[in-house]
Structure 1
């Protein structure tokens, strides 16, 4: 810009006669005279400080100089403004890249989770969104280049600034292309992680299906869902069965089952029902040399039953909250009755029924000395007191009545710790024992 101004001064000086001819030289040459800053170019003076007259050519050149100066000042302001815009765009691009990297790390962390069914989203969405942002920045930079190609008056912009801008745009384009390449690589990695996650999920599902198939095959030995028994051959604190059904609140109940045990002293705990706050809500137990006991809400009644001879026996216990009345049946015959066993206490819902163990907390903390040793089958529960004729019919194998609260079916019973479920036709097996 300074060189342009000096050249214009040279033109002005040569047109107005503001030059000195060098003496003693061949021909003529012009010597430029420096003009101090702030000198009024509209009022040229001679060596005697007299105002010189101006010609039309001088006036035209003077106006041209003034216009060029204004144009240069406007261009300078435009350069400063556009440089600020470029810095702002660079700052936004840097934040965009940092945000994209942060989201990518968070997305990669989420994909490392191994949860079934929780498949990650398609990472192409992230790449597509960043691509749109980058294209927008590139378009804005292109518009900026177009604006900088012309000045405020429509004239050409200096070549030096054009070259600088082109170089800067080339650098930004290279950075964008590099970033897109990185995102494409990351996209490929995310797809691979997704495929790996999907493969693990499919393998897990395949294993579950195989396990279900095995269980179906193992259960195919049962002629009907109720023709099986649970075997608990050892007195331990880890062999037991569990009923999957939940009990409602009850004001009466009847529990019936077939038992076979020769363990001594005492057969242990054929079943127990515990609820939060009361592990002994309902318990049937023969422990040590004590008789068989029925516990309701931790209250005890002794039952006149004897089933430790190694044969199958049909046992039924009834209870009602009214006066706490109870009855005990063995092989269809009522052997004992009583009252005042937890009277007016409703059986609480939301508990756990365990076969073969006495619960000290709901569903656990078993004591091996109280474990049932033997086999049991047809554990059924009703929310009412059954008639003696119905109990006798089940004991004589003349009828079968599944419990309306807990029916004895294969799907309702699971075993743990080495306890097993085996096929059994109870009435045929009972006749063989007799």
Structure 2
């Protein structure tokens, strides 16, 4: 019975109610074209976006960090690491901008935030507390339509067409998304884990999500190398 329950958690876990994942991390241990985490929200229009997360990987190849697709655009809001270079692509409404000279040491935890607003079309990354230049991507139209947001894979269609060569291997934690652009001071609070306002679209402390395939949920302190402050919040499966 215990083995059956474990398999259910690893391969077909679905959470009907928001979960507090404080002190937890999603662990993606294998290159695959199937395993992923789907984040759930009722919101379907975004005039602006801020998405933040922490991640740890030893990959040098390309991989997806955050993939939001709608029926009209598979890359409606995407954060994507480019092959073996310290470069990140941010995509909005199918358009993209490349952020160069982003320092991403392997086998280390990193904090990243990406912002975009439809008013100006300008996007910016923040990596480990440091901002990049601001780059224009797409303006005038908000992100609209039923979103499917995926961690661990990059969507080439609305909710599918995953490529194992773009899958994420490692750990992802503290995922938050807001439907507005955070100020620099608010982003710094997130980076330092210091009493920031949780995301109003995705909130790591009240997260609705579904796990598909081999994705684990582990305490961050079990990962030993995590520099992220460990909270005492409890967590349990329902």
Aligned to 2:226: 429
What is the aligned length? Answer: 213
Q: Aligned partners of 2:156 and 2:162: how far apart in 1?
A: 6
1:77-130 CA-partner distances (Å, limit 9, x unpaired): xxxxxxxxxxxxxxxxxxxxxxxxxxxxxxxxxxxxxxxxxxxxxxxxxxxxxx
2:64 to 252, 259, 269: 269
Q: Aligned partners of 1:411 and 1:255: how far apart in 2?
A: 14
- Please give the residue correspondences for 1:240-279 in structure 2 after superposition, counting only pairs within 5 Å: 240-266=36-62, 268-279=63-74
The answer to whether the 8 A contact 2:30-2:214 is kept is: no
Higher deviation after alignment, 229-238 or 285-294: 285-294
SS in 1 for 2:60: coil
Q: Aligned partners of 1:235 and 1:361: how far apart in 2?
A: 19
The answer to whether the 8 A contact 2:69-2:157 is kept is: yes
**Judging changes above 3 Å, is the alpha-carbon distance between structure 1 residues 421 and 431 closer, same or farther for their aligned structure 2 residues?**
closer
**Judging changes above 3 Å, is the alpha-carbon distance between structure 1 residues 293 and 253 closer, same or farther for their aligned structure 2 residues?**
same
Q: Aligned partners of 2:228 and 2:65: how far apart in 1?
A: 22
Aligned to 1:326: 123
**Judging changes above 3 Å, is the alpha-carbon distance between structure 1 residues 409 and 416 closer, same or farther for their aligned structure 2 residues?**
farther
Aligned to 1:300: 96
RMSD: 2.7
Displaced runs of 4+ in structure 1, greater than 3 A? none
More strand by share: 2
Task: Give 1:363 shift.
Answer: 1.0
The answer to whether the 8 A contact 1:415-1:421 is kept is: no
Ranges in structure 2 where 5+ consecutive residues have no aligned partner: 10-14, 230-238
Q: Does 1:414 align with 2:222?
A: no
Higher relative contact order (CA 8 A, sep 6+): 2
The answer to whether the 8 A contact 1:259-1:307 is kept is: no
SS in 2 for 1:279: coil
Q: Does 1:396 align with 2:169?
A: no
Q: Aligned partners of 2:149 and 2:24: how far apart in 1?
A: 18
Q: Could you say which structure has the larger radius of gyration?
A: 1
Task: Give 1:259 shift.
Answer: 1.0
Aligned to 2:134: 337
Task: Give 1:410 shift.
Answer: 6.2
SS in 2 for 1:392: helix
More helix by share: 1
**Judging changes above 3 Å, is the alpha-carbon distance between structure 1 residues 235 and 406 closer, same or farther for their aligned structure 2 residues?**
same
The answer to whether the 8 A contact 1:246-1:349 is kept is: no
Aligned to 1:346: 142
Task: Give 1:247 shift.
Answer: 3.0
Task: Please give the TM-score of this superposition, normalised by the length of structure 1.
Answer: 0.46
Q: Aligned partners of 2:181 and 2:61: how far apart in 1?
A: 31
**Judging changes above 3 Å, is the alpha-carbon distance between structure 1 residues 365 and 383 closer, same or farther for their aligned structure 2 residues?**
same
- Please give the residue correspondences for 1:193-232 in structure 2 after superposition, counting only pairs within 5 Å: 225-232=21-28
Aligned to 2:151: 355
Q: Aligned partners of 1:235 and 1:410: how far apart in 2?
A: 28
Q: Aligned partners of 1:313 and 1:237: how far apart in 2?
A: 24
Q: Does 1:385 align with 2:181?
A: yes
1:316 to 113, 118, 121: 113
